Amino acid sequence: MTTADDHLRKYPHARASTLAYLARRNETTEKLRQEIEAQQRVNEFRDEIGHVSWFRRLFRRRK
């Protein structure tokens, strides 16, 4: 919540709605950042093993 804190230091009489908006924006940004990192981990894993569809994996198990 540093953005809201910084804003409050710069503008001591800031509206509560502005601070709430900044907090909500930070939460959304962090959530998106985590989703991007998770997707990058999945892509790295697929690059390491090579992407195999679920259909081919199903037939590999049966043999």
pLDDT of residue 58: 73
Looking at the whole model, is its pTM more than 0.95? Answer: no
* Contact (Cβ atoms closer than 8 angstroms) between residue 20 and residue 7: no
Residue reference for tokens 């230091």: 9
What pLDDT is attached to residue 3?
A: 87
Q: Which of 40, 38, 12, 8 is nearest to 21 (CA)?
A: 8
pLDDT of residue 43: 80
Q: What pLDDT tens digit does each residue of the chain (63 aa) get?
A: 578 999 999 999 999 999 999 999 999 999 999 999 999 888 877 766 666 677 776 776 665
What pLDDT is recorded for position 2?
79
